[in-house]
Amino acid sequence: MTTPNTAAEILVEGHVQGVGYRDYARRRAAGLALRGWVMNLRDGRVRLRAEGPRAQIEELVRVLEKGPPLSRVAHVDVRWLAPTGRFADFDIRFAEFES
């Protein structure tokens, strides 16, 4: 039996830009077979959209709370959403826009 998919919007606050955080998040999400994207926001936060099994998204959140070595994560906020199913893999986005 397959695990039903869900989605989450994840906002990460702290010293998370300019420290390889997006690539770290992309590699970890891809390693968990999640789909979606990660981007820097103008206000200094990092935003992710992840789709896949809830257990894998929860594992991603635990990893994001640690972050790469040069980061200092202050807070991670997760909002659960319905999955769209429109992502083929996990990408880095380079412009802030709604999706």
Catalytic residues: 22, 40
Q: Tell me how far CA of residue 32 lies from CA of 62, 77, 95, in angstroms.
A: 12, 19, 24
Cα–Cα dist 29/52, whole Å: 10
The encoded tokens of residue 73 equal 């994560």
